[in-house]
Amino acid sequence: MKRLISGSALLPILSFALAMLIGGLLIAFSDAKVLALRSEPWEMVKAGAATAWNAYVALFEGAFYDPNLARQGGGQGFYPISETLVVAAPLILAGLSVALAFRAGLFNIGAQGQFIFGAIGASYIGFTYELPPILHITVAALFGVFIAGIYGGIVGLLKAKTGAHEVIVTIMLNYVASYLLLWLLKTEAFLREGRNDPIAPDILESAQLPKILGSEFRISVAILISLLVAWLIAFLLNKTTLGFRFRAVGANAAAARTAGMSVAFVTTSVMIVAGALAGLGGALNVLGGEYALTVGIAGSFGFDAITVALLGRAKPLGVVLSALLFASLRVGGQMMQAKTDTPLDLVLVIQALIILFIAAPALVKALFRLKNINASSGMAAKGWNG
Amino acid sequence: MSVELRGITKSFGSLVANDAIDLKVDAGQIHAILGENGAGKSTLMNILFGLLQPDSGEILIEGKAIEVHEPSDALAAGIGMVHQHFMLIPVFTVAENIVLGHEKIRGVGSLDLREARTQIMEIAKRFNFEIDPDALIEDLPVGVQQRVEIIKALFFNAKIIILDEPSAVLTPQETDELLNVMRELKKQGKSIIFITHKLREVQEVADEITIIRRGKVVGKAKPTASQEELASMMVGRPVDLEVSKKPFTPGPVILKISDLKVTDNRGRPLVSEINFDVRAGEILAVAGVQGNGQTELARAILNLEPHVDGSITIDGHEIVGKTVNESLESGIAFVPESRELDGLISSFSIAENLILDTFHSAPISKSGILDLEKIRSNAEEYTKQFDVRLQSISDPASSLSGGNKQKVVLARELTRPVKLLVASQPTRGLDVGSIEFVHERILAERDAGRAVLLFSNELDEVMALADRIAVMYHGSIIDIVAPSVTRNELGLLMAGVKGKTA
């Protein structure tokens, strides 16, 4: 509870609430039927509220539990939450990638490219070699993680050796990864037999991640793996010497250097780990959901990951929660679009608004009159110092 | 104009920063407020200037109660404040900085500085300042920048000027000039509230002295009081300002520097032709005017400088070209010049800061895993041993006062098995109590047989602690002299004049 009002966790929650509120207003006022009632303000407000409510109900049902599907029996009502968790798994990992780099003072825009590399690696092993089930999954995932780790490590190495800014380098490497994927899918090694469009063969069954709830649902152990990795990253940051180095360099590189830490080592190694994390996201997206490598395999995972990391305050638990939130918004948004007149784009607007509010904490604090709660601790330190 | 504070109380959470403080400053007087860091001086002044609101109490000007809700109220009431950290924009000119926020506009939005410039020149003439209104702030020395802040206060017709630790950032010469400026302001009828913890300055210029300790007024004094009396009131116990030193018994050479040269990225020399050694049980103080290569020399010993030629040996082992970590492990304790920037990670907890250079080995960590219990007990032991005043070891280092921050750095560095202590400006910005503590620790290290290399711009400190004094000038050591040298001789060496002491 204390943490909740300390400003670190409260701010994201309030930002989300505000974004949903504004999103609701947008739904209401972009609806033709609502606008048609302009002459009767009260009716218009009622209709607007109903429209927004319906849209959000559809969003919720689409993300978690659908009563219509439930009537088909067999637990089908839970199909949406299974889908949400399928999307959440790679998003958690990509989010962790960005968050970890943040903690070491680096802005990893390159999760998208690293994600693609992970997907390429896993897919290639997945459809090329025939191996026993568990081994096949492990090798495929690790190969994806390995090449994505190298891909991320390049950024760290360039930064450490030449001072090249990681934001520029990662943006450029995202393009390289996208076009490399496009090219690969046209090569003989990746082209699916009998097809001309860019899609790789399905991975073999032995490389598919085991499903948790049977073949009716897509949910696989990917979500469990991502939660385990989130826990591992929390452990790394808080309990290991490597994590201590990461945090120290991120918080004050000059002091870290003076204390004998190698900033170049941290920059390189954190980018290797960040690349590996995003790469695991890409690998699991192939092995545990999509099964085939396509041009759109990475979707916008790598970019949403930045939002997820920001919303999660670059802490592993925060990343998990915000990734779940974003996954449900995205999955539920599709149902909302299908059932109501509200387009999926609204979800993007809500995401953008969340970031806007997070980036402008003063605005949120002013709106909710939090100033005194949050300022007191800081003021005490300042006032007492003099 | 007189100003009076009555029963000002301000608390932050459970901390009472100001406890029913009464203060009366008469017109045309310099009223010094003396107190250690954290005594509540700045809080009190921030209340007077409207930056903080008191929980209770009132402010009276010329006997009339006024409401000060924000700085503009204070300015309107004739109160000006010069902050410890200047509020100036480096790329703007003096005149632009002074009119900032109150600009006059001519025609279609072009800035009219003519009037301001004339007014600034008038003020400068009246108070005997030398200032070019068109100079860029970034080109001006710190002392002159401070004068700009004072002119700014005068520009807005301040009759009461608050100076918050004004000498903390100044060289000795600049400080003398500041004291002259204060006398001039007083002569012209301004009242000055002078916040400081430097006793010499107080004795020189103050008319009245109020001493604050732990948020309370603990006494008033006249400037004729001795430094010992003032210091004791400030710290709350008898203070011995004389450093008592045991006889000098040097041991074997620990640090040996030969033909050392440090260059910048473009190959220009920053430090050159450095040859000296420091023996066990010896304090070698490096004196000099700031910016003569002391910083680079200290950093070179830690291998923090990228371009170093020559040789540095610790106990016979060459360390040039090694990593920072290897330098530390070879037996160096390092107290960097800037605790906030290089010595501590302010967002890290005190406990974490105490393991900043020992985290990678036993007993703090084993095979890469931190022992959190050990980190906690380590912090508790060291903060106790070094008398760090804190609320909790898991508070961020930024919550500590300057003296306590330095104690954390010392605790971390001196509890490692080291042979050499390299301390850069270890008492800069500290209060009397903390300075005393740091000096005692440094002497204790010397007496325990460690070699000490002390970089200091404070002449008193150099002369009190050193067994030998090396004077740096233009990146080289111009001479090494005995501590029996006079201030005057040392001053000449610092200015690059050699030969009179040889």
Beta strands at B283-287 and B468-473: parallel, antiparallel or unpaired: parallel
pLDDT value for B169? 67
Q: Are residues A13 and A46 in the same domain?
A: yes
Min Cα–Cα distance to chain B from A73, Å:
50
pLDDT value for A378? 32
A8 in contact with chain B, both atoms CB, cutoff 8 A = no
A329 in any annotated domain: no
Q: Are B231 and B199 spatial neighbours (Cβ–Cβ below 8 Å)?
A: yes
CB neighbourhood size of B186 (10 A): 17
Closest CA to B130 of B150, B102, B110: B150
Residues of B in contact with A386 (CB under 8 A): 37-38, 40-43, 46, 84, 164-165
Of the candidates A238, A241, A384, the beta carbon closest to that of B359 is on: A241
Q: Do A248 and B345 touch (CB under 8 A)?
A: yes
Of the candidates A262, A379, A385, the beta carbon closest to that of B401 is on: A385
Split into its structural domains, chain A has a count of 2
A137 in any annotated domain: yes
Residue B501 per-residue DSSP state = -
Residues 6 or more apart from A20 whose CB is under 8 A from it?
A: A56, A350
Q: Which CATH architecture has domain B3-235?
A: 3-Layer(aba) Sandwich (3.40)
A69 in any annotated domain: no
Min Cα–Cα distance to chain A from B220, Å:
20
B365 in contact with chain A, both atoms CB, cutoff 8 A = yes
* Stated pTM of the model: 0.79
Residue B9 per-residue DSSP state = E
What percent of chain B is helix, strand and coil (3-state, nearest 5)? 35, 25, 40
Q: Are A340 and A55 spatial neighbours (Cβ–Cβ below 8 Å)?
A: yes
Both tokens assigned to B65: 């109660």
Q: Are residues A172 and A268 in the same domain?
A: yes
Both tokens assigned to B64: 């009339």
pLDDT value for B415? 93
The type of residue at A63 is A
Q: Which residues of chain B have pLDDT under 70?
A: 168-169, 171-173, 241, 499-502
pLDDT mean across residues, chain A:
88
Given a cut of 60, is residue A381 above it in pLDDT?
no
Q: Are residues A237 and A115 in the same domain?
A: yes
A72 in any annotated domain: no
pLDDT value for B141? 79
Whether the CA torsion B258, B264, B266, B272 is positive or negative: it is: negative
Min Cα–Cα distance to chain A from B43, Å:
5
Closest CA to B410 of B429, B433, B434: B434
Q: pLDDT digits over A199-237, tens only?
A: 999 999 999 999 998 888 899 999 999 999 999 999 999
B328 in contact with chain A, both atoms CB, cutoff 8 A = yes
Q: Do A239 and B43 touch (CB under 8 A)?
A: no
Both tokens assigned to B444: 């204790």
Rounded to an integer, the average pLDDT of A48-54 is 91
Q: What phi, psi does B448 have (nearest 5°)?
A: -85, 5
Q: Kindly identify which residue of chain A lies nearest to residue B300, measuring between CA atoms.
A: A258
Q: Domain range holding A46?
A: 1-63+342-381
**Domain ranges (residues) in chain B:** 3-235, 253-331+417-494
Of the candidate ranges A303-307, A359-363, B96-100, B124-128, the one whose mean pLDDT is the lowest: A359-363
Both tokens assigned to A6: 């300390």
* Residues of B (334-353) whose Cβ lies below 8 Å from A: 334, 336, 341-348, 352
Token look-up 């890469």 returns B368
Closest CA to A376 of B43, B396, B12, B14: B12
Q: Are A79 and A217 spatial neighbours (Cβ–Cβ below 8 Å)?
A: yes
* Residues of A (63-82) whose Cβ lies below 8 Å from B: none
pLDDT value for A374? 40
Residues of A in contact with B43 (CB under 8 A): 383-384, 386
B136 in contact with chain A, both atoms CB, cutoff 8 A = no
Q: How far apart are CA B10 and CA B19, in angstroms?
A: 7
Helix A263-285 and helix A79-103: axis angle, to 10°? 170
Q: How far apart are CA B436 and CA B439, in angstroms?
A: 5
A211 in any annotated domain: yes
Q: Are B53 and B44 spatial neighbours (Cβ–Cβ below 8 Å)?
A: no
pLDDT value for B226? 87
Q: Are residues A229 and A303 in the same domain?
A: yes
Q: Do A251 and B359 touch (CB under 8 A)?
A: no
CB neighbourhood size of B4 (10 A): 17
pLDDT value for B212? 92
Both tokens assigned to A25: 């207003």
Q: Are residues A8 and A97 in the same domain?
A: no
Given a cut of 70, is residue A8 above it in pLDDT?
no
Q: pLDDT digits over B166-190, tens only?
A: 876 676 667 888 999 999 999 989 9
Q: How far apart are CA B197 and CA B34, in angstroms?
A: 5
CB neighbourhood size of B384 (10 A): 10
Q: Are residues A130 and A266 in the same domain?
A: yes
B63 in contact with chain A, both atoms CB, cutoff 8 A = no
Closest CA to B271 of B226, B222, B320: B320
B401 in contact with chain A, both atoms CB, cutoff 8 A = yes
For residue B141, say if its preceding peptide bond is cis, omega within 30 degrees of 0: no
Closest CA to B274 of B300, B304, B240, B302: B300
Closest CA to B212 of B430, B62, B55, B43: B43
A222 in any annotated domain: yes
Q: Are B324 and A257 spatial neighbours (Cβ–Cβ below 8 Å)?
A: yes
B85 in contact with chain A, both atoms CB, cutoff 8 A = no
Q: Kindly identify which residue of chain A lies nearest to residue B352, measuring between CA atoms.
A: A244
Q: Are B181 and B129 spatial neighbours (Cβ–Cβ below 8 Å)?
A: yes
Rounded to an integer, the average pLDDT of A137-161 is 97
Q: Are residues A207 and A297 in the same domain?
A: yes
Both tokens assigned to B275: 């040859």
A148 in contact with chain B, both atoms CB, cutoff 8 A = no
Token look-up 């953008």 returns A352
Q: What phi, psi does A333 have (nearest 5°)?
A: -60, -35
Whether the predicted interface score ipTM is above 0.90: no
Rounded to an integer, the average pLDDT of A84-108 is 96
Both tokens assigned to B346: 């302010």
* Residues of B (296-325) whose Cβ lies below 8 Å from A: 302, 304, 323-325
A247 in contact with chain B, both atoms CB, cutoff 8 A = yes
Residue to mutate among A232, A239, A244, A257, with most B CBs inside 10 A, is A244
Alpha carbon distances (Å) from B190 to A287, B124, B221: 78, 15, 21
Q: Are residues A136 and A214 in the same domain?
A: yes
Note whether B3-235 and B253-331+417-494 share their fold.
yes
Closest CA to B58 of B3, B2, B17, B7: B7
**CB hemisphere CA count around B338 (13 angstroms):** 12
Q: Do B357 and A260 touch (CB under 8 A)?
A: yes
Q: How far apart are CA B320 and CA B298, in angstroms?
A: 13
Element (H, E) at B122: helix B114-126
Q: Do B42 and A240 touch (CB under 8 A)?
A: no
* Residues of A (357-376) whose Cβ lies below 8 Å from B: 376
pLDDT value for A10? 79
Both tokens assigned to A35: 């606008």
A77 in any annotated domain: no
Q: Are B157 and B127 spatial neighbours (Cβ–Cβ below 8 Å)?
A: no
Q: What phi, psi does B380 have (nearest 5°)?
A: -65, -40
Both tokens assigned to A318: 């925060």
B421 in contact with chain A, both atoms CB, cutoff 8 A = no
Q: Are residues A160 and A295 in the same domain?
A: yes
Q: Which CATH architecture has domain B253-331+417-494?
A: 3-Layer(aba) Sandwich (3.40)
Beta strands at B15-25 and B3-12: parallel, antiparallel or unpaired: antiparallel
Whether the CA torsion B324, B327, B333, B338 is positive or negative: it is: negative
Residue to mutate among B356, B372, B395, with most A CBs inside 10 A, is B356
B391 in contact with chain A, both atoms CB, cutoff 8 A = no
Q: pLDDT digits over A235-254, tens only?
A: 999 999 999 999 999 999 99
Q: How far apart are CA A265 and CA A212, in angstroms?
A: 40
Whether the CA torsion B436, B440, B446, B450 is positive or negative: it is: negative
B215 in contact with chain A, both atoms CB, cutoff 8 A = no
Given a cut of 80, is residue A52 above it in pLDDT?
yes
Rounded to an integer, the average pLDDT of A146-154 is 98
A290 in any annotated domain: yes
Q: Do B342 and A379 touch (CB under 8 A)?
A: no
Q: How far apart are CA B225 and CA B233, in angstroms?
A: 11
> How does residue A369 score in pLDDT terms, banded at 50, 70 and 90?
low
Intra-chain end-to-end CA distance of chain B, in Å: 55
Closest CA to A155 of A180, A177, A188, A129: A177
Q: How many residues does chain A have?
A: 386
In angstroms, how far apart are the furthest CA atoms of chain B? Answer: 76
3-state secondary structure of B372: helix
How buried is A280 (Cβ within 10 angstroms: 0-12 exposed, 13-18 middle, 19+ buried)?
buried
Q: Do A244 and B40 touch (CB under 8 A)?
A: no
Q: Do A376 and B13 touch (CB under 8 A)?
A: yes
Rounded to an integer, the average pLDDT of A317-338 is 92
Q: Are residues A138 and A28 in the same domain?
A: no
pLDDT value for B365? 93
Share of chain A above pLDDT 70, in %: 93
Element (H, E) at B451: strand B451-455
SS (H, E, C) chain A: CHHHHCCCCHHHHHHHHHHHHHHHHHHHHCCHHHHCCCCCHHHHHHHHHHHHHHHHHHHHHHHCCCHHHHCCCCCHHHHHHHHHHHHHHHHHHHHHHHHHHHHCCCCCCCHHHHHHHHHHHHHHHHHHCCCCHHHHHHHHHHHHHHHHHHHHHHHHHHHHHHCCCHHHHHHHHHHHHHHHHHHHCCCCCCCCCCCCCCECCCCCHHHCCCECCCCCCCCECHHHHHHHHHHHHHHHHHHEHHHHHHHHHHHCHHHHHHCCCCHHHHHHHHHHHHHHHHHHHHHHHHHHHHCCCECCCCCCHHHHHHHHHHHCCCCHHHHHHHHHHHHHHHHHHHHHHHHCCCCCHHHHHHHHHHHHHHHCHHHHHHHCCCHHHHHHHHHHHHHHCC
Element (H, E) at B25: strand B15-25
A380 in contact with chain B, both atoms CB, cutoff 8 A = yes
Q: Do B402 and A261 touch (CB under 8 A)?
A: no
